[in-house]
Amino acid sequence: MNREELRRLRLRVQGLRGLHAASAPAVVRDFVAVQAQEFVPAQWGLAMRVPPERRPDVASVTAALDRGEILRTHVLRPTWHFVDPTDARWLMELSAERVHRSNTTYYRRTGVDGEAGVRALDVVAASLACGHRTRAELAAALEAAGHPSSGLGFTYVLMLAELERVAISGANVGKQRTYAAFDERVPPSAPKPRDAALVELAERFIRSRGPVTDRDFSVWSGFTLGDTRRAFATLVDASAGRVETVEVDGAVHWHDAEVTEAARAGGVASTADVASPGAPTGTVDLLQAYDEYIMGYAAPRSYLLPDDVESVHAETSLHALMIDGVMAGRWAPVVQPKRAVVRVVPWRAFSRAEERSLAASVTELERFLGVPVELEREPLDDPIPG
């Protein structure tokens, strides 16, 4: 399989071309965990994987979060993720130890390690026992008890509370996000043995993002390559041929044959046709910077780049404008209460078909945001570092 074939198959498996999920919560269940640093852009990443006729707007996705159908927490790595309530407990049990190790230095520097951390957790738990609490309310409770209530110290108290299964995301209060008691929002479940949980995580990762390398899973999940390779080997042995390998650019990739077969039902006749280059369609996707099509794989992510570009300069303030799964520029939304502006920074001139698709994507974003969106175009940018 060549790079273009890999790209086309991943677009299908990820729900950006067919294989759509029925709702935003269903997207989260399918993906196990979805990186979610930026709150509204991350919700857009869920919505765009739902069929256009059922695609939710931002108010609908936020309502699902308020109801606890989607939860947002630090899990797998020290970063925000959306997770399904039924997955939150075992994912946290599986990954908390590794995230704690990553955070150890910061716990010590901010004074939330050892007994101090335990006492801070007691304060958080007591506050959440009375209902959902904003960050300001939790900060006030911690300050009154003599614990860190601002800056990094406060951040790491809250992350500690998440990892120790004391706190998780609650319902919004206006535009303020809240925390809730973990056991209120997450249903009880029997513990999973570590090896079994890791195999399940690997299986669902491959189903939702394959073909993938072992390094893709290791970087995404935060687990070692040793853990990854043992989980993959166990999964292949247990799958009765369902999990297969394919070579791309000299590297072994794993994919799920059932998912590939489902992609066939989307209008292709065979596995080869699913991944065949075909004619470019000029389809534009306005992906948020942390979208799983980007962050679900390990660097250098060469499948994202045009053939004549080896790397790009980092612009964390801008998102990724994709055409047929290849980066063709950057974009950034500026959202105000009654209007929004989408600033596009293209790397090349667009064809008429690409311009039409860009306009359609902006229209979809407008429907999602629920306010008029104006498109602003910057001069052509050079993606190659100078």
Task: Specify the DSSP element, H or E, that contains 73.
Answer: strand 71-74
pTM for the full model?
0.93
User: In whole angstroms, how far apart are CA 329 and each of 45, 49, 349?
Assistant: 18, 21, 10
Amino acid (1-letter code) at residue 195: D
Q: What are the residue boundaries of the structural domains of the chain, listed by start?
A: 68-185, 194-275, 284-377
Residue from 183, 155, 157 nearest 168 by CA: 183
pLDDT for position 270: 37
**How many C-beta atoms surround the C-beta of residue 190 within 10 A?**
6
Contact 167, 181 (CB under 8 A): yes
Q: Does domain 194-275 have CATH number 3.30.70.260?
A: no
The rounded distance, in Å, linking the Cα atoms of 366 and 360 is 10
Can you give the pLDDT at residue 19? 73
What separation, in Å, do the N-terminal and C-terminal C-alpha atoms of the chain show? Answer: 32
Give per-10-residue mean pLDDT for the chain (386 aa): 90 88 96 96 97 95 98 96 98 97 94 95 98 98 96 97 98 95 97 97 97 97 97 96 94 92 55 45 95 95 82 68 96 94 95 96 97 94 63
119 exposed, middle or buried (CB, 10 Å; 0-12, 13-18, 19+)?
middle
Q: What is the pLDDT of residue 267?
A: 41
Q: Kindly report the CATH number that applies to the domain delimited by 68-185.
A: 1.10.10
Q: Which residues of 347-381 are buried (b: 16+ CB within 10 A; e: fewer)?
A: beebeeebeebbeebbebbbbbbeeebebeeeeeb
What is the structure's pLDDT at 18? 81
pLDDT of residue 383: 72
Question: Residue 327: what pLDDT?
Answer: 95
Two domains, one topology: 68-185 and 194-275: yes
Report how far residue 207's alpha carbon sits from residue 205's, in angstroms, rounded to the nearest whole number: 5
Q: For position 1, what pLDDT does the model report?
A: 87
Q: Give the C-alpha separation, 340 to 364, whole Å.
A: 13
